[in-house]
Amino acid sequence: DQQVKQNSPSLSVQEGRISILNCDYTNSMFDYFLWYKKYPAEGPTFLISISSIKDKNEDGRFTVFLNKSAKHLSLHIVPSQPGDSAVYFCAASYGNAGNMLTFGGGTRLMVKP
């Protein structure tokens, strides 16, 4: 039973345009969500997070939106840059910080120059 799903295995976007990566979850107990970015041959690195008490969190070019009623979150990257090309994982946990994360399967983003 996959509790966190990323239904798009890949996404291709032109440089300068918006990238939108989507994530759905099934466990209504999740209250903390994170996005990780992974380059080849490296471990995932933290990108941005959002608590369930918010519906939006912004950090520079990256914005995460949370729709609790739909159990859906998305990551927007504006403008997209070639260096953003990587695999993006969404992750979720419950019970506040300090609890284990459940990861989605990842979406490979390719930003074309």
Partner 1 sequence: EAGVVQSPRYKIIEKKQPVAFWCNPISGHNTLYWYLQNLGQGPELLIRYENEEAVDDSQLPKDRFSAERLKGVDSTLKIQPAELGDSAVYLCASQGQHTGELFFGEGSRLTVL
Q: Which of 14, 26, 28, 45 binds partner 1 (CB under 8 A)?
A: 45
Q: Is 4 in the site for partner 1 (CB under 8 A)?
A: yes
Please give the size of the binding site for partner 1, defined by CB under 8 A.
27
**109 neighbors 21 (Cβ within 8 angstroms):** yes
Residue 84 CB, shortest distance to partner 1, in Å, is 19
From 63, 46, 47, 44, select the one nearest 55 (Cα to Cα). Answer: 63
Q: Roughly how many angstroms between the first and final C-alpha of the chain, as a whole number?
A: 38
Residue 100 CB, shortest distance to partner 1, in Å, is 5
Could you identify the residue written with the tokens 């992974």? 38
Question: Closest CB to partner 1 among 73 and 91?
Answer: 91
For residue 16, the 8-state DSSP code is: T
Contacting residues toward partner 1, per CB under 8 A:
4, 6, 9, 32, 34, 36, 41-46, 49, 89, 91, 93, 96-106
